[in-house]
Amino acid sequence: MSVSGAVTVAGAVMLGLALSDRSSVEGAADGAAWSDVSGAYDRATPLSAVGLAAIGVGLAGAAIGVVLLLGQGSDGTETAVALSPTGLAIRGSF
């Protein structure tokens, strides 16, 4: 679950950066040159999208981890779920 927590925190940081960029564009001084805020404008939407996606993935991973921890039986059964960039792996022994 620590990986899920790290992904969630990274997503929150990216979302915070996106909001900061958005604020710098919206709060630009009257008469400010476009070149002064164009970088922030270009970064805000992708950072926001990636940040929200990372938060969602991190929270989903944490939820799966909690379910697996609570679902681990005392009779020797074991389950595992692994999320990777290329897919999802589910493993179990009964």
Q: Where are the domains of the chain?
A: 2-93
The residues with which 92 forms a beta bridge, in sequence order, are 79
What six digits make up the tokens of 78? 């074991």
Residue range 10-36: mean pLDDT, rounded: 94
Higher pLDDT, 7 or 87: 7
Q: What is the pTM of this model?
A: 0.70
Q: What pLDDT is stored for residue 75 in this prediction?
A: 66
Q: What pLDDT is stored for residue 58 in this prediction?
A: 93
Instruction: Give CA separation, 55 vs 4, 36, 45, 82, 86, in Å.
Output: 9, 30, 15, 17, 18
